[in-house]
A and B are shown apart, each in its own frame.
Chain A
Amino acid sequence: MSALELRDLHVVADGHHAVDGVDLVVGEGERWGLIGASGAGKSLTAGAVAGLLPAAAHATGSIRVGDTELVGADEDVLRTVRGRAVTLVAQDSATALHPLVPVGRQVAAPLRRLHGLTRRAATTRAEDLLADVGLSDGTARVRPPQLSGGQRQRVALAAALACGAGLLVADEPTAALDPTVARDLLAQLDRSLRQHEQALLLVTHDLTALNAVCDHVAVLDHGRVVERGTVHDLLTDPQHERTRALVDAARSLVPRTLPA
């Protein structure tokens, strides 16, 4: 069974046909990137998969997460899917943290709610997850305002991993971070996915981030997939002109000289 199957997905947002017939299959444990220019439909595709489309957007076609169909599903079904089968980390996920609650309890919450762990077991597990994303001992007792932006984003990642869903949807998880912090977060994401055997759908503008964590990639243009393949093939030998433009732009923004 695949982690995610999109068949002829269409999303109409504010009367605009933003996603126009996307087919995509993410196998169990596979890591797919979704790239494309601004407005190509990447985030709406990710939002539809996470069951979190804006109110003004409407999806048709088919989105299967595991064996559950999300298109047309009512809120009760979506609630059982979110967290259990699919979780989302967004660029601003850290803003969803409660500022007055110690982060350990916020990471433990999905463990207790979704997996029925006892308070004690959930607390221990939350500490492990925070350690998995590279946060030091004692972070669990700290409240979000006492942490840096990068640390908060790691807490959000730990909370998403805590759900233990088969599919993690990450929408520009590192866009708001410093390069050094982004590199560390991506390395931790890579390790955690391997450890928890989760599949990934990564929406990003940053082809170096794509290169760091994904093995497959689909290129969106005006709501359609114009090219797909392995990350290595697509970055070294892009076929479609849209892909070539994205890869050329990314290459022009890498320093010409770097230490060996």
Chain B
Amino acid sequence: MTPVLEAAGVRRVYRVPGTRPWRRRDLTALDDVDLALQPGRSLALVGESGAGKSTLLRILLALEVPDAGSVRFRGAPVSPERLRREVGVVVQDAGSSLDPRLQVRASLREPLECLDVDADHDARVLELMAAVGLDPETVDRRPGAFSGGQRQRIALARALIANPALLVVDEPFSAVDPATRARLVDLLRVLAERSGIQLLLVTHDLGVADRLCDDVVVLAHGRVAEAGPIAEVFARPRSAAAQDLLGAVGRLPTPEATR
């Protein structure tokens, strides 16, 4: 089966300016990266800061061109024009990505208008407000009137409003407290299941990855250290990078241990 999104042999090198001309050097951000998002399966891209997650994400979204290798969406080369209709994006710290001057209604209508979606735009806006658990009555307020968690919900609604096939989420909900994060993760899972949307999740929170995804790609120093079904990789990590990440997961005492 053709993967929904596929990267093959992706390489990206940045030229790092030094304090002196002879101190300039090349930094290989990504080297020979393969990745495949299979139909019907959600994928988590995990790794430490600096592993190359964000660079790979920009290349997957055709926001940046790799120095070598290719990215295909449903078998054809990616382009921003192709992805626009099919991919929704929730950026990192999404709550603050909303225009503070725009009423939520206008923010949510924007993708529908830009993509010229054939639907009752106002009805769709209210439908999405309800779907992400916000009171549709508040749709004429501006982002400042909402809490951090609520703003994340609005950003999620905006990414979903044009009914994409794939939702890309970068470091979801890292700026909110754990109780809010747990609620947002549950919301995202329910929404994805209900509408059959696939997720591509970029995160260093392995718990969030585990709740939302079927497959995982572990990135370390610009290379794929390990990839496979998340349950298998998390139970028996083979690469040092995956073992290190899993070893850093904080533990809680189990209630059974007391009895």
A-side residues, CB < 8 A to B, are 37-38, 149, 178-180, 182-183, 205-209, 211-212, 232-233, 235-237, 245-259
What string of 1s and 0s marks CB contacts (under 8 Å) between B221-259 and chain A?
000000000010011110000011111111111110110
Residue of A nearest to B254 (CB): A236
Cβ contact within 8 Å between A180 and B250: no
- Min Cβ gap B216→A in Å is 10
- Chain A CB within 10 A, most for which of B48, B180, B208, B250: B250
Contact in complex: B234, A249 (CB < 8 Å): no
A237 touching B252, Cβ below 8 Å: no
Say yes or no: A236 contacts B257, CB within 8 Å.
yes
Closest Cβ of chain A to B114, distance in Å, is 34
Contact A254-B178, Cβ < 8 Å, known A180-B245, A259-B237:
no
CA distance A221 to B140 in the complex (A): 31
A255 touches B249 (CB 8 A): yes
Contact of A254 with B252 in the complex, beta carbons under 8 Å: yes
Q: Determine if A183 and B254 form an interchain contact, defined as CB atoms under 8 angstroms apart.
A: no
A208 with B252, Cβ < 8 A, contacts A253-B185, A254-B207 known: yes
Set of chain B residues within 8 Å of A37, measured between Cβ atoms: 177, 179
Partner of B250, one of A212, A246, A249: A212
Interface centre among B205, B210, B237 (most CB of A within 10 A): B210
B206 within 8 A of A: yes
Partner of A209 from the list B182, B244, B250, B254 (CB cut-off 8 Å) is B250
Q: Is the CB of B178 within 8 A of A207?
A: yes
Contacts of A205 in B (CB 8 A): 177-178
- Whether B255 contacts A249 by the Cβ 8 Å rule is no
Give min CB distance, B220 to chain A, whole Å: 11
What 5 additional pairs, Cβ within 8 angstroms, besides A178-B49, A236-B257?
A: A236-B253, A249-B181, A255-B246, A257-B210, A258-B246
Interface residues on B, range: 35 or more
CA distance A249 to B257 in the complex (A): 20
Determine the chain A residues whose CB is within 8 A of the CB of B244 once the complex forms: 180
Asked if B211 is at the interface of the complex by the 8 Å CB criterion, the answer is yes
Of B251, B252, B254, chain A has the most CB atoms within 10 Å of the CB of B252
- The verdict on B151 contacting chain A, using a C-beta distance below 8 Å, is no
Give the chain B neighbours of A253 by CB distance below 8 A: 178, 181-182, 185, 205, 207-208, 211
Alpha-carbon gap, A208 to B248, bound state (A): 10
Residues B177 and A257 in contact, CB atoms below 8 Å apart = no
Give Cα A149–Cα B258 distance, bound, in whole angstroms.
38
Q: Is the CB of A206 within 8 A of B178?
A: yes
Chain B residue nearest to A150 in the complex (CB)? B49
Q: Which B residues lie at the A interface, using CB under 8 A?
A: 48-49, 148, 176-183, 185-186, 204-211, 231, 234-237, 243-255, 257-258
Q: Which of A247, A249, A257 contacts B231 (CB 8 A)?
A: A257
Tell me, in angstroms, the Cα distance from A251 to B247 when the chains sit together: 17
The 7 closest A-B pairs by CB, nearest first: A208-B250, A249-B182, A253-B207, A255-B210, A180-B248, A179-B248, A249-B179
Please name all residues of chain B whose beta carbon is closer than 8 Å to the beta carbon of A149 when the two chains form the complex. 49
- State the CA gap A251–B186 with chains docked (Å): 13
Do A249 and B178 touch (CB < 8 A)? yes
Contact A255-B207, Cβ < 8 Å, known A37-B177, A178-B48, A205-B178: yes
C-alpha spacing A252/B253, complex, angstroms? 13
Q: Are B253's CB and A246's CB within 8 A?
A: no
Q: Which residues of B contact A248 (CB under 8 A)?
A: 182
**A231 closest partner in B (C-beta):** B253
The answer to whether B177 touches A38, judged by C-beta atoms less than 8 angstroms apart, is: yes
Most chain A CB within 10 A, of B178, B206, B235, B249, is at B178
**In the complex, A75 Cα to B240 Cα: how many Å?**
52
The residues of B that contact A178 with a CB separation of less than 8 Å are 48-49, 204, 248
Q: How far apart sit A205 and B49, CA to CA, in the bound complex (Å)?
A: 21
Contact present for A179 and B178 (CB under 8 Å): no
| Given A180-B245, A205-B177, A249-B178, residue A254 in contact with residue B255 (CB < 8 A) | no
Q: Is the CB of B249 within 8 A of A258?
A: yes
Listed A/B pairs (18) with beta-carbon separation below 8 Å: A37-B177, A38-B148, A38-B176, A149-B49, A178-B48, A179-B249, A206-B250, A207-B252, A208-B250, A211-B252, A232-B253, A236-B255, A236-B258, A249-B179, A249-B183, A250-B178, A253-B207, A258-B235
Q: Which residues of A contact B177 (CB under 8 A)?
A: 37-38, 205
Q: Which of chain A's residues have a CB closer than 8 A to the CB of B210?
A: 255-257
How far apart sit A183 and B250, CA to CA, in the bound complex (Å)?
8
Complex Cα spacing A227 to B255, Å: 18
Query: Which residues of the other chain, A, contact B205 by a CB distance below 8 angstroms?
Result: 179, 253
Q: Is the CB of A254 within 8 A of B257?
A: no
Chain B residues near A245 (CB-CB < 8 A)? 179
A133–chain B nearest beta-carbon distance, Å: 17
